[in-house]
């Protein structure tokens, strides 16, 4: 598959979240912080977005309809075109079992909701080394 080249210096982040309110909140926060944000409410639309846009980072919930976040991460990590894209789990499930399963599936980080905006943005920057989001 051919990869789309970035036409902007903005870092691209895909948010995969089935809760519309959380999706809107994270999307708005990241957009205002200078990131190019794409969204998907389930795993299948997320796969299409990843292939079309090649995000620099994927933020994924664990609990989603049809295919959960762990299965989705496994699918991304199984494919050559997507395995190197870091995936950060952002979930309300703070159990050690969830955390361990997420890292075993190949995620780069694990954040627990609710999360303060300043902390959220600081954590996101850790997974985008060299990223310089534009000032709003």
Provide the pLDDT confidence category of residue 3 given band limits of 50, 70 and 90: very low
Mean of the pLDDT values across residues 3-20?
A: 76
> What pLDDT does 93 receive?
81
- What pLDDT digit, counting tens, does each position of 33-81 carry? 999 999 999 888 998 999 899 999 999 998 877 778 888 998 898 988 8
Q: Which domain holds residue 82?
A: 27-126
Number of domain units in the chain: 1
Predicted confidence band of residue 5 (pLDDT cuts 50, 70, 90): very low
Among left, alpha and beta (phi > 0; psi -120 to 50; other), residue 14 is beta
pLDDT band at 7 (very low <50, low <70, confident <90, very high): very low
Does the pLDDT value for residue 23 go beyond 70? yes
Share the mean pLDDT of the chain.
Answer: 86
Number of neighbouring beta carbons within 10 Å of residue 118: 9
In a domain, 63, yes or no: yes
State residue 81's pLDDT score.
Answer: 87
In a domain, 11, yes or no: no
C-alpha to C-alpha distance for 50 and 116, rounded to whole angstroms: 27
What CATH number corresponds to the domain at position 51?
3.40.50.2300
> Is 16 within the bounds of a domain?
no
Kindly tell me if the per-residue pLDDT of 134 is higher than 60. no
Look at residue 19 and tell me if it is in a domain: no
Say what the pLDDT of residue 130 is.
61
In this structure, is residue 1 part of a structural domain?
Answer: no
Q: What is the distance between the alpha carbons of residues 54 and 100, in angstroms, rounded to a whole number?
A: 27
Contact between residue 77 and residue 88 where contact means Cβ atoms under 8 Å apart? no
């Amino acid at each position: 598959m051919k990869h789309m080249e970035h036409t902007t210096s903005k870092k691209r982040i895909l948010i995969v979240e089935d809760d519309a309110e959380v999706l809107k909140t994270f999307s708005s926060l990241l957009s205002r912080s200078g990131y190019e944000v794409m969204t998907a409410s389930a795993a299948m639309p997320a796969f299409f977005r990843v292939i079309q846009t090649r995000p620099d980072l994927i933020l994924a919930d664990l609990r989603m309809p049809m295919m959960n976040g762990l299965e989705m991460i496994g699918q991304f990590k199984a494919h050559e075109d997507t395995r190197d894209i870091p995936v950060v789990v952002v979930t309300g499930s703070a159990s050690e079992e969830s955390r361990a399963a997420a890292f075993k599936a190949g995620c780069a980080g694990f954040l627990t909701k609710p999360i303060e905006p300043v902390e959220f943005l600081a954590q996101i920057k850790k997974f985008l080394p060299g990223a310089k989001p534009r000032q709003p």
